[in-house]
Amino acid sequence: MRSCCSSRDRISDLPDEILGKILSLVPTKVAVSTSVLSKRWSRMNNNNNLLAHVDTLSFDESMVVYPNEEAVSGSSDRFLDFLDKTLRNCLTKTIKKFSLSHRGGSFTRSPAIYGWILSALEEEQGCLEEVHLECTRIEVNLERRLLTSNTLVKLTLSREYCLEVDRVYFPALKSLSLLTVGGLDYNNYRRLIKGCPVLEELFITDIGADTLDPYPPCCTTHVKSASIKRLVLSVDMPYGGPNNLHSFHELHDLTYVKAPSLVYLDYSSHVFMDYRFLDLDSLLQVRLNLKLWDHHKPIYGDVTNLAAGISNITTLHLSPDSLEAFHFCCKSMPVFKNLLNLSIESNKKKGWQAMPFLLKSCPNLRTLVFKGLVHRVTDKCGDACACTPYNKHKKKMKKKKSKVISCLWTCPVKVLEIVEYGGSFQELKQMRHFLGNLECLETVRVGIDADNSMFLRANLLALPIVSSNCNNIHFI
């Protein structure tokens, strides 16, 4: 019977080329925390044979287990010391991807880490293409020289970084992620975007920032770029409270996006007072998560200009909150003349009041997808819904027969897809309403729970279908 040590030796005795590939695929944090590669890891501190075959380095302090919380600060320094020793022996010409997540520590005591990154960026024959930096506790001032590189293609900055930008030049950078970067004011952010002339992907989050912060969230409120094709914005700025309304209005006054090459937009935020979405003629796909303010009366915000700015798209995904935002905060629904695919996510706490106006505004809609059918019952769902509202005494209210032609009768949808169909009475009633009114249907797909598949299939297959071009329901 072979011992555990024997197995470790077999791994440790692998050729340098193989171990180099293993260290590139497995995050360095894992290699450091085990003893399997301890012999060869020590060898890396003495020569470059093994590290010469590594093209990816990933260090994550969050995976380090400290004996107690009081020792974290000193242990963080030891973690940085370890990185210093490791990176001194690491050839910059071989590394393509570098990732570092740490808590901060006494960073001024360990300048070799960013010094190594700087050397890799400045190396004429270097090949560093991706850099991911995250500092989770103590603020780090990022050196200005780190914001210039001819080879960098992807850059991620997260959390406690402070940037003083006077010159930025990333001629090859195509993807930039700014994830709740606390020390980034508007002017430095603007210079950073300007210094990326071929940028194609921009991911920005402002989550949970303090309104008293000297650098209030700004990145998600203003985007201007001629080259960006994919834009993901997620902002969750806290409500200033009844005694801080000035700060609240100031932070949620205007969102500005001007991106003539933009093709994809994913936008998540509480509703702003105004939107300036300009030059978005290339935009094809939009995903919206617009949230109403729970504690603000009257309802705050206006999404009318946002809807108008994206009216040329072909695909639209709406969250449950977005439907309510369209109902309460959109003065006029534009005509989505090019919209072919509409996807709607439902929630039992959110209503469908905007559904009739939305469907009537999509004259060329071909595919309609629902993730769930259960929603809050109201008396304003109109003829797009089969639910029956209740009055205060919990008695059913008779639904008034509309003299207007049903929006479902004129809806040109050919493909109806229901994801996560549960088979409740309300869902079955809604399916009967859809199948009995969508006259252009050709294909119906329903995702059902495997445990109740036979029962649910039987109930759905028994429903009448008004369209002569749709003869069956496909289960997925």
Which residue has better confidence, 475 or 28?
Answer: 475
- pLDDT of 414: 97
Q: How far is CA 445 from CA 208, 218, 441, in A?
A: 39, 42, 11
Do residues 344 and 369 lie in contact, with contact meaning Cβ atoms separated by under 8 Å?
yes
Reply yes or no on whether the pLDDT at 158 is more than 80: yes
Q: How far is CA 177 from CA 45, 136, 139, 262, 289, in A?
A: 33, 16, 18, 16, 20
Domain boundaries, the chain: 341-387+407-475
**What is the phi/psi pair of residue 120, to 5°?**
-65, -35
Q: What's the whole-number average pLDDT of the chain?
A: 79
Q: What's the pLDDT at 318?
A: 98
Question: Tokens at residue 399, please?
Answer: 């639904």
Whole-number pLDDT of residue 23: 55
CA 99/CA 59 separation, integer angstroms: 6
Q: Which tokens in the block code for residue 195? A: 């210094």
Average confidence (pLDDT) over 344-372:
95
- The first and second tokens of residue 73, run together, are 């600060």
pLDDT confidence of residue 461: 94
- The pLDDT, as a whole number, for residue 389 is 56
Ranked by mean pLDDT, the top range of 49-58, 100-109, 420-429 is: 420-429
pLDDT(72) > 60: no
Assign 380 to helix, strand or coil. coil
Percent of the chain with pLDDT over 70: 72
* pTM, two decimal places: 0.84
Indicate whether 362 pLDDT > 50. Answer: yes
The full DSSP string for 414-433 is -EEEEEEE---HHHHHHHHH
Binned at pLDDT 50, 70 and 90, residue 45 comes out as: very low
pLDDT of the residue at 200: 98
Confidence of residue 58 (pLDDT cuts 50, 70, 90): confident
The more confident residue out of 454 and 238 is 454
CB atoms within 10 A of CB 270: 22
Q: How confident is the model at residue 65 (pLDDT cuts 50, 70, 90)?
A: low
Q: Which has more confidence, 35 or 111?
A: 111
Tokens 């399916």 sit on residue: 431
pLDDT in tens, 188-244: 888 889 999 999 999 998 866 544 454 455 677 889 999 999 999 998 765 554 455
First to last CA, the chain: 50
pLDDT score, position 134: 87
From residue 339, how far is each of 105, 363, 419 by CA, in Å?
Answer: 52, 8, 20
Reported as a pLDDT band with limits 50, 70 and 90, residue 398 is low
Please tell me the distance from the alpha carbon of residue 414 to that of residue 367, in angstroms, as a whole number: 6
Q: Which residue is listed with tokens 């320094």?
A: 77
318: left (phi over 0), alpha (psi -120 to 50) or beta: beta
Q: What is the model's pLDDT at position 163?
A: 79
The pLDDT of residue 39: 46
Give dist(CA 199, CA 209) in Å, integer: 26
Whole-number percent of the chain with pLDDT over 90: 41
pLDDT band at 342 (very low <50, low <70, confident <90, very high): very high
* Statement: residue 29 has pLDDT above 50: no
Cβ–Cβ < 8 Å for 146, 113 = no
Lowest mean pLDDT among 216-230, 318-332, 354-368: 216-230
